[in-house]
Amino acid sequence: MQVKMQKIISVSIKNREELKKKYQCSQTTLYNALAYKTMNRRADAIRQDALDNFGGVESEKPVLN
């Protein structure tokens, strides 16, 4: 088994709710965008906004393959 590092953006619960309202999206859509599982313009906008305006912190977490 191999360990891979996956990028994620951590955002507080309050700010996640604000992002969901702003982008009119579901919890799943927001999670996938912040976990870099979705790669499209909307996900890019969510990630950038989370980092720039909602106190998001980019980090990596270990994931088993």
User: Residue type at 4?
Assistant: K
Could you read off the pLDDT of 13-63 as tens digits, one per residue? Answer: 999 999 999 999 999 999 999 999 999 999 999 999 999 999 999 999 998
Count of domains observed in the chain: 1
Q: Report the C-alpha gap between 64 and 36 in whole angstroms.
A: 16
Instruction: Say yes or no to pLDDT of 65 above 90.
Output: no
User: What per-residue confidence (pLDDT) applies to 60?
Assistant: 95
State which residues form the domain around 46: 3-64
Whole-model pTM: value is 0.90
Angle at 9 between CA 22 and CA 46, to 5 degrees: 25
